[in-house]
Amino acid sequence: MSTTQYFYIDPKVFLNLPGLFASKRSGVQLVFNEPAYGYVRYLELEGYIPSGFSNFIQKSIQDRIIIYTDDILNLRPYSDSEYIQFFPLSIAKSKSNYPGITLVTDDSIFNDHLPLYNIKTIGSKEFSKKFLDNEIEGPRNNEKESIDLSRKKSIGSKLTFLYGLLVGIFFGFSMFIYHWIILNVNRIVLILCALLLSYLMFVLRDRKRRAYGVAEVVVGFSTILTSFQSISDINASTSSVLSALAGIYVIIRGLDNIDGTMKYSSLNSFWNCFFFRKKKVQE
């Protein structure tokens, strides 16, 4: 009978315990999977964790330090809602191959989902104390790295916001000169430019969701201002009103994209306060 103990690792635990790979004891096997890897990619692309961390995970998988439960690595970034939904489900699917598997996490966000699959959990500190050889040195050595990572997150958040603002201003400014473009530029060229700008915005959305959200907000606001220029007490067209409503919708979509990235931002508390959200009590 095998005495191996399997532990499913929350990606954040890898960040908190950098010595996890080299210090696990005999009989302890770490398990990772595609939703977790996809979430690491999501955090990496959004600038919340250092670039190259996913390559570090891949190397550990190749060296069999980590068991990877799927054959194909899907590099698509995951949103928080997808991660919360599929991560516990994937653990449940692994229980048949890895008996007694336990989730190592400090995040209470899974609490509503884990009981459905009868999944056991253990905190990173308890896991470090019981199953790692350097339970004292690991967290101590990680203190400086955590501080550096927090600083990088803060700087990255500000740069992302500025980047999105500049992109949004660029697209927003184009809204104010659309009359000139329509009147003076060949329609085919105009269509090609619109397709190119749409492509660039989609690339931005996939790689920098918060910057894309900021750009959406600026474009939506510019659309509203442009529409209001066409509205007067004497002559108010339906199309102008609809354009203004479309601008409001674009702003809401932009805020939604920004909101999806704010959970791990240093501005999260201000963001929730601004939108009158109640603070969740962490267990």
- Predicted confidence at residue 73, as pLDDT, reads 42
Mean pLDDT of 38-61: 71
| Domain with residues 5-135, CATH architecture | 3-Layer(aba) Sandwich (3.40)
Better pLDDT: 105 or 182: 105
- In percent, the amount of the chain with pLDDT more than 70 equals 43
- Predicted confidence at residue 56, as pLDDT, reads 72
| Lowest-confidence region among 112-121, 122-131, 166-175, 188-197 | 166-175
Alpha-carbon span 243 to 172, nearest angstrom: 14
Would you say residue 139 has pLDDT above 80?
no
Alpha-carbon span 52 to 34, nearest angstrom: 17
pTM of the model: 0.42
pLDDT confidence tier of residue 120, bands split at 50, 70 and 90? confident
| Lowest-confidence region among 22-31, 36-45, 168-177 | 168-177
Better pLDDT: 11 or 141: 11
Mean pLDDT of 58-87: 59
Indicate if the alpha-carbon torsion angle 144, 147, 150, 156 is positive or negative. negative
pLDDT, one tens digit per residue, over 222-272 is 777 767 766 654 555 666 677 777 778 777 887 787 777 676 566 677 777
Mean pLDDT of 172-187: 62
pLDDT confidence tier of residue 192, bands split at 50, 70 and 90? confident
- Predicted confidence at residue 84, as pLDDT, reads 61
- In percent, the amount of the chain with pLDDT more than 90 equals 0
Alpha-carbon span 46 to 242, nearest angstrom: 33
Tokens of 217: 């907000």
Over the range 133-165, which residues count as b (16 or more CB within 10 Å of their CB) and which as e?
A: ebbeebbeebeeeeeebeeebeebbeebbebbb
Closest Cα to residue 149, out of 4, 18, 7?
A: 18
Alpha-carbon span 53 to 39, nearest angstrom: 12
Q: Where in the chain is the domain with CATH 3.40.50.1010?
A: 5-135
Tell me how far CA of residue 62 lies from CA of 31, 40, 55, 254, 265, in angstroms.
Answer: 13, 17, 10, 39, 32
pLDDT, one tens digit per residue, over 101-112 is 788 887 776 666
- Predicted confidence at residue 44, as pLDDT, reads 74
With vertex at residue 39, the alpha carbon angle to CA 75 and CA 125, rounded to the nearest 5 degrees, is 140
With beta carbons less than 8 A apart as the criterion, state whether 88 and 116 touch.
Answer: yes
Q: Which residue has the tokens 């007490």?
A: 233
Contacts for 31 with CB less than 8 Å, ≥ 6 apart: 6, 7, 8, 9, 66, 67, 69, 94, 98, 101
Tell me how far CA of residue 249 lies from CA of 169, 178, 278, in angstroms.
Answer: 18, 20, 25
pLDDT, one tens digit per residue, over 149-160 is 455 555 555 666
